[in-house]
Amino acid sequence: MSGNQTGRVALVTGANRGIGEAIARRLSAEGAIVAITHTREESAAQAAELAAELGAAEGRALALRLDCADPGAVVATVDRVAETFGRFDILVSNAPVGDQSHVDDVGVDLLDRAMAVNIRAPFVGAQAAARHMKEGGRIISIGTTNAVRVPRQNRSVYATTKSALVGMTKAMAHDWGDRGITVNLVNPGPTQTQMLGDYDSPRVQLMLTFCAIKKLAMPKDIAGLVEFVAREEAWFITGAVMAVDGGYTA
């Protein structure tokens, strides 16, 4: 790695596994100080282990528990990271609520929680982060290609909430452009994660039929683009919606 993020401070939500973990590892490998969050008590040990690998003992990593459905906790977490490390440069809003319910079975409680985690948390997190950022700040959300293409059933909640990130990204890019803060959205396609499930399942195999490249991405493939967009040299990329999807939305 070439140290593209040396001296910069990043917060990655939902980073104890999967895409979030890969992003945290990539940013750390490029020199960033990385704070990661996890949601449940049972994932605390996993998050602490990752933070230890990323250099918590040297003050280069921090693991925090965060329920992204609580907007006050989201803001407090951003503020704590800024206060702990003395600056705040990169926010990666990754923590998702996924759902496989048919639209007929979606209750208000489920919809409200998905909206709280998938759109309200990135929104208030971005507001809080921008208050600490100087020129060169980077706000990046992790969405889904289902925001653009939904060729199968049982994705109404996920697609609805994640598609809102498109408008959020474009509008915030204009609001903060004069401050040199960029706002971008990365939409992964089918990716080998615990959330996706068994590679050989009929559901996953069906998803691959829609891809030009008949393989699943690995989390590190998503992390590579996120880290590039977080670099200082990516200053002219903002308001962009970028797919890493093997042609799923082509």
- Which CATH fold would you assign to the domain 9-244? Rossmann fold (3.40.50)
For residue range 57-104, what is the model confidence (pLDDT) as tens digits? 899 999 999 999 999 999 999 999 999 999 999 999 998 887 778 999
Question: How do the domains of the chain map onto residue ranges?
Answer: 9-244
pLDDT band at 1 (very low <50, low <70, confident <90, very high): low
Output the pTM of the full model.
0.95
For residue range 194-231, what is the model confidence (pLDDT) as tens digits? 777 676 788 788 889 999 999 999 999 999 999 999 99
- Tokens standing for 88? 């705040």
Which range is least confidently modeled, 132-141, 186-195, 224-233? 186-195
- Tokens standing for 229? 């967009």
Catalytic residue among 88, 158, 176, 248: 158
Specify the pairing of strand 90-93 against strand 138-142: parallel
Please indicate whether residue 199 is annotated as part of the active site. no
